[in-house]
Structure 1
Amino acid sequence: MPTLPQEPQSRPETAPSHRARRTAESFGTDAQLYDRARPAYPDDLVTRIVAGSPGPDVLDVGCGTGIAARQFQAAGCSVLGVEPDTRMAGLAESRGLRVEMATFEAWEPAGRTFDTVIAAQSWHWVDPAAGSAKAARLLRPNGRLAIFGHVFEPPAEVAEPFAEVYRRVAPDSPFAGQPARRPPETYRAGYERIADTVRGTGRFDEPEQWRFDWQRSYTRDQWLNLLPTTGGLTRLRPDQLARILDVVGDAVDALGGRFTMHYTTLATTAVRTGGR
């Protein structure tokens, strides 16, 4: 997603994103801002996952500050988070989430199993084949794996100035060459690749692809709070970030100080087969 470049699985020409640990672990730079600015997930998505799971025990892979986890807790689930960033995990724990510190690949479940394994905006930081196989081992029979994330598409009047100033300010960034906007269908290919790795385990029913379209209005300040929490900006120098935010702020001002964001939340989900 060019304006919020944090879903590298949609860019097959780059190296596997799960190896980009410095970027993966940069989101905790300002965990409070991340938690405050990042959007939650559609209630219909949470409801559908919970309704299709055999019980309330949820493992949240790469739980971050617990944005998705709190939604599942509110839906009656018991959630355990796994998170490698101490800053993000600390904030999640302060909000009442149980968190164990590790990458998903290195995390030791100590014999525990779960009814649901979720990954909210985090699966691209997990080795896809190893992650799918581990999820299969952790799920109880008929348990559900649900991998989901947002596609952000601001209007062209905001996206194009962002892309232009980003290229000027951070020309060496791997995100600098992205186009200003891409349709949601571009990102579906990434979720289809996730489905392929899930199929490859031989331990799930046929994966399903879900899509949820929704909108949210952003003021200038709300948008400028969200941008620094995204993967293309978390590792920029303060002066680079300030230049980008100045240009984007002017673009939002030209729209009257607010705009409507069109979100698409995509999910790949599959049910663990009944046998062990």
Structure 2
Amino acid sequence: MPTLPREQPEPAPSHQARQTAESFGVDAQRYDRARPAYPDDLVARIVARSPGPDVLDVGCGTGIAARQFQAAGCDVLGIEPDDRMAGLAQARGLEVETATFEDWEPAGRRFDALVAAQSWHWVDPSVGAVKAARVLRPRGRLAIFGHVFEPPAEVAEPFAAAFRRVAPDSPFSGQPARRPLELYRAGYEQIADGIRETERFHEPEQWRFDWEQSCTRDQWLNLLPTTGALTRLPPGPLAEILGAVGDAIDALGGRFTMQYTTLATSAVRAGTP
């Protein structure tokens, strides 16, 4: 998480922020339509380095990543705590069990890979890696990944100013307009530390995939309401923020290039059954 100004209290760890964690399903259709997929090279690497096709997708949401693994020939089971997100994933052909990962009961089932796409920060770190080791087969692969996408300053700064204006009491209002990549990389290093502490995995690997995508005004304004800072805002403040961001993108000619980095921490389950 970004460092907040001293006058603001430190936010609770992400896994304790349940209202935000469970807010993404407020418009599951928009989430599924607007959120970007993951690099094909990432999916191919996980599949190639796993001992078999059985994949558990933790916090699968609407199934964006899960459908990519299905297309790569995997059998995927999703775990998702939000009924609205799970329902859409099921409608798209994914088998989903509705629960948090902490409460989910594997009932003796084991998997060749456990993936978490943009979701591991919602899992209690005292439970996550330990339980992952329990449900993975020997040589099974744990892969935790997510996107870093910070728009250019010409878009990010009007967003931050509008957000501070309409939601000054939000813990998100103290965040800088753009956060450095190193901040996100430090988060994935923390994930690696948690994996090491279990003593059930080989040394974690850090992967990085850089890519870019042209983004129109409409595409970005469609995606923004699916982000954690905005999912719980009332319609009026949300419209004010989107208006300010839309004006900023119009000033750039109606589109901009989004530089994405997809980061991953991955490790192989050690030992015998």
TM range (shorter): over 0.9
What secondary structure sits across from 1:54 in the alignment?
coil
Equivalence for 2:254 = 257
Which residue of 196, 200, 204 maps to 2:197? 200
Once the two structures are superposed, what CA deviation does each residue of 1:207-236 show, in whole Å capped at 9, x if it has no partner? 001011100111100100000000000000
What secondary structure sits across from 1:175 in the alignment?
helix
Equivalence for 1:189 = 186
Look up the equivalent residue of 1:34 and give its one-letter code. Answer: Y
Equivalence for 2:137 = 140
Look up the equivalent residue of 1:251 and give its one-letter code. Answer: A
1:57 matches 2:57: no
- TM-score for both structures, normalised by structure 2: 0.96
C-alpha RMSD of matched pairs (Å): 1.0
What secondary structure sits across from 1:194 in the alignment?
helix
2: distance between equivalents of 1:168 and 1:68?
35
2: distance between equivalents of 1:37 and 1:269?
26
Flag structure 1 segments of 5+ consecutive residues without an equivalent.
Answer: 1-7
Identity of aligned residues (%): 79
Once the two structures are superposed, what CA deviation does each residue of 1:23-73 show, in whole Å capped at 9, x if it has no partner? 000000000000000000000100011111000000000000000000000
1:154 matches 2:151: yes
Equivalence for 1:30 = 27
What secondary structure sits across from 1:176 in the alignment?
helix
1: distance between equivalents of 2:62 and 2:252?
32
What secondary structure sits across from 1:217 in the alignment?
strand
- TM-score for both structures, normalised by structure 1: 0.95
Within a 5 Å distance, the mapping from 1:217-256 to structure 2 comes to 217-256=214-253
Extract structure 1 runs of 4+ deviating beyond 4 A.
10-13
2: distance between equivalents of 1:165 and 1:27?
21
Question: How far did residue 11 of structure 1 move?
Answer: 5.5
2: distance between equivalents of 1:102 and 1:194?
22
1: distance between equivalents of 2:212 and 2:166?
30
Flag structure 2 segments of 5+ consecutive residues without an equivalent.
Answer: 5-9
Which residue of 81, 87, 90 maps to 1:93? 90
